[in-house]
Amino acid sequence: MAWLYLIIGGLFEMGWPLGLKLGWNEQGIRPMPLALAIISMALSGLFLLIAQRTIPMGSAYAVWTGIGTIGTFVLGIIAFSEPATAARMASVGLIAAGIIGLKAFEH
Q: What is the pLDDT of residues 16-47, one digit of tens each?
A: 999 999 999 989 999 999 999 999 999 999 99
pLDDT at residue 1, rounded to an integer: 95
pTM: 0.86
Domain ranges of the chain: 2-104
Decide: 26 and 80 in contact? Cβ < 8 Å.
Answer: no
Question: Who wins on pLDDT, 26 or 88?
Answer: 88
| pLDDT band at residue 106 using 50, 70 and 90 as cut-offs | confident
